[in-house]
Structure 1
Amino acid sequence: MGILFLVRHAQASFLEQNYDKLSALGEAQACHLGEYWARRQIVFDRVCAGPCVRQKDTLRLVSNAYSKAGLKFPDPLVLPEFDEYQGEAVLEHSLPGLIENDQSIRALHAAFKSSSGSAGRRATFQKLFEAVIGKWVRGAICPPGVETWLEFCSRVNSGLAKFLAAGSRGERVAIFTSGGPIAVAMQRALQLSPESTLQVSWMSRNSSWSEFLYAAERFTLSGFNSHGHISDPAMLTYR
């Protein structure tokens, strides 16, 4: 029986011009994760990351912590199947029309635009984002040139099948990815509906990991959203 660790990237630069880079807090989260695993002698046979900078840099900082502890960490692969869904593209293509034609989206957008302070902007944007992405998951909006929810799930499941089948029996492996692919893995393990899968995607904390047991056709959840490396509540983030 193999063990898969699915790791959500550490905190990225939310609401900044370039989201796809770790914040200072995110870098600290990733370092703590690597140090925590290294202290416990958690050794991996293979690791990979999605193509996003935030995913690869989380892996890199964990690897650095292993090196400092004198432990080996596998050379990583980068697999595009573990990229996050195209949330920014969904918003860019769909939001103008939704603001014009959907009263609830118009109200959420107005609340975001009038919000102030980091906490207020984060909270109001998240409500807007969840509402728009929910429509995309249900197929109510299909932006041109953007993969559908079903295509996204198929991509992630294809990546899981390919990566897990490439190794030997009984390995411990890790994939550094994002909340969406982790939710798809949860869907695979628990047979969740699309709506429940989306709700799970909002629950993954930055730099947390979820564990799955796998063998042949078996894929079973062992633990979700672990964050024992974070002792300071102020360092626990979702965005």
Structure 2
Amino acid sequence: MSVLLLVRHGQASFGSDDYDALSEIGHEQARVLGRDLAARGVRPDLVVRGELRRHRETAAGILEGLGSGGAEIPVTIDAGWDEFDFDHVLKVHTPSEESRSVMASVGDLPLDRQRAVFQAFFEEATARWTDGSADHEYVEPFPAFTARVMGAMERVAETAGGTILVVSSGGPIALAVSHLLAGDASLWDRLNRVAVNTAVTKVISGRSGLHLSAFNAHTHLEHDRSLVTYR
């Protein structure tokens, strides 16, 4: 039996020149998670991460937080856990008239409001991406994204027993959980919407297959509400 801990990356640098770099909060979220795991006696036997910078920096922060011995835990890279190219999905999408009006003035808004406006536009664009009506317009259509993520899930489930910590993104984790709960991607958008940075989703892998134990757990952050972020 294996225990899979699927971790969403720490907060990225929304609104900066390089979104993929973790923010200061993101780095702290990762270290806090590592310290929390260490305090509970949870030491991963293996870390698997996507190949994005925010995955790499989150994994490094978790290992730092784990303290003594953290640097000795092997880390492997599997690009199957990478997030979909949301920049491309947004660019392909033609926004509604209301969205165009709001997006035109988004730069004048406070950062928190910018995040809310972006989230609304993001959900509008991903709804089109997932409905299958324009698959030919996307470099990675939603079915291809699904196949990629579920392939990564199968690979990590086949890994020898122990505790395997996977550092990924909200999209792949929400998709994996939707398939575990519903057998398809029907819950993806609702699960992705509530994903917290460095939240932990626990999956048990045994003889009878994969079973969800916990989704989006983030009690390690709740001592400081400023650490609870969604984007």
Please indicate the TM-score interval, normalised by the length of the shorter structure.
over 0.9
Stretches of structure 2 that go unaligned for 5 or more consecutive residues are none
Please point out which of 114, 119, 127 is paired with 1:126: 119
Q: Which residue of 2 aligns with 1:184?
A: 175
* One-letter code aligned to 1:107: E
Q: Which residue of 2 aligns with 1:160?
A: 153
Matched, 1:235 2:227: yes
Stretches of structure 1 that go unaligned for 5 or more consecutive residues are 100-104
Alignment of 1:1-239 (within 5 A): 1-66=1-66, 68-70=67-69, 73-92=72-91, 94-95=92-93, 98-99=94-95, 105-115=96-106, 116-142=109-135, 144=137, 146-165=139-158, 167-169=159-161, 171-191=162-182, 193-216=184-207, 218-230=209-221, 231-239=223-231
Q: CA deviation at 1:156?
A: 0.7
TM-score (structure 2 length as normaliser) = 0.92
Consecutive aligned runs of 4 or more in structure 1 exceeding 4 Å deviation: 70-73
TM-score (structure 1 length as normaliser) = 0.89
Secondary structure (helix, strand or coil) at the match of 1:219 reads strand
Are the equivalent residues in 2 in contact too, given 1:208–1:225 (CA < 8 A)?
yes
State the number of aligned residues.
228
Q: CA deviation at 1:83?
A: 0.4
Q: CA deviation at 1:72?
A: 6.1
Q: What is the RMSD of the two structures over their aligned residues, measured on CA atoms?
A: 1.7
Are the equivalent residues in 1 in contact too, given 2:64–2:70 (CA < 8 A)?
no
Are the equivalent residues in 2 in contact too, given 1:5–1:175 (CA < 8 A)?
yes
**Worse-matched range after superposition: 207-216 or 4-13:** 207-216
Q: CA deviation at 1:84?
A: 0.4
Alpha-carbon distance in 2 for matches of 1:151, 1:70: 38
Report the identity percentage: 28
Are the equivalent residues in 2 in contact too, given 1:186–1:192 (CA < 8 A)?
no
